[in-house]
Amino acid sequence: MLNDNFPRSNAYHPDWVRSGVSGGAHPLWLTEWVTEALELRPGMRVLDLGCGRGASSVFLHREFGVQVWAVDLWFGPDERAARFRDAGVSDDVFPIRADARALPFAGEFFDAIVSIDSFVYYGTDDLYANYLAAFVRPGGAIAIAGAGLTREIDGPLPDHLRPWWEPSMACLHSASWWERHWRRSGVLEVDTADTMPDGWLRWLDWQYAVAPENTVEIRALEQDEGKYLGYVRAVAHRADAALDPPITSVTTTYQRHPLLRASRREH
């Protein structure tokens, strides 16, 4: 749980980190890594999208002095509220339960949006970048980090990954995939897209620390040795381009017409 590459994270007690486990990655390591490619200043409004149990949200406020809206769908806000209160950050970190596809915020409300090890569950949609960009100010950052691929698997699944792989893991992609995906949206300009050096080892470190009984995943990582599995990040800013307005409803007016042609009615 200590690593020289993450000096900020090393200050946090391992029991506190373990108490906030919500996925297959050390949330503070990934948050520290992705914020190295961001400029965060005190007082900024930051959306921590898919924040899990909120460890990354506490880290963002304590380390950078930003206000954080901690949004997650799967994990309820009450436990997060208790964690934020005990961490002394409840005046600036706000727990919210919301779907990433139905965010309850005004347009251009945030200075930056950060997503730690959750973006793959909703952000692969070709239309999502346009939707999400509407919530960040022009020039504001969108930054993600999480489990992914060091290179795309374009052919059959490698044999050593089969025991662990599930169909839903098709959402995992490489940094270069995310760069192409965001560039083709036309609304994001990519600043950084890369793979964490020895990310597969950090993935293993986390599994050893919090889920040593997860032998299937551990064996897959050990056999893969970073050939396909690792941690990826991508950082972009909202481009100076017009966004497509979201379609929230379609107004129609019913007009009555004959159901059948005249020739059919005669029979």
Q: What is the pLDDT of residue 265?
A: 56
Helix (H) or strand (E) holding 72: strand 67-72
Give average pLDDT by consecutive 10-residue segment, the chain, 267 residues: 95 95 93 97 98 97 98 97 98 98 97 98 97 97 98 96 96 98 97 98 96 96 98 97 87 95 68
Q: What is the pLDDT of residue 248?
A: 81
In terms of C-beta density within 10 A (0-12 exposed, 13-18 middle, 19 or more buried), how is residue 136 classed? buried
The torsion angle over the Cα atoms of residues 182, 188, 191 and 192, rounded to 10 degrees, is: -30
Q: What is the pLDDT of residue 246?
A: 81
Check: CB of residue 21 under 8 Å from CB of residue 45.
Answer: no
Q: What is the pLDDT of residue 13?
A: 97
Helix ranges (H only) for 23-107 are: 27-35, 55-64, 77-86
Residue 112: half-sphere exposure toward Cβ, Cα within 13 Å: 26
Q: What is the pLDDT of residue 134?
A: 97
Q: What is the pLDDT of residue 262?
A: 85
Closest CA to 21 of 85, 119, 117, 115: 117
Residues 6+ apart with CB under 8 A from 133: 142, 185, 187, 188, 238, 243
Q: What are the structural domains of the chain?
A: 9-266 (3.40.50.150)
SS3 167: helix
DSSP summary character for residue 245: P
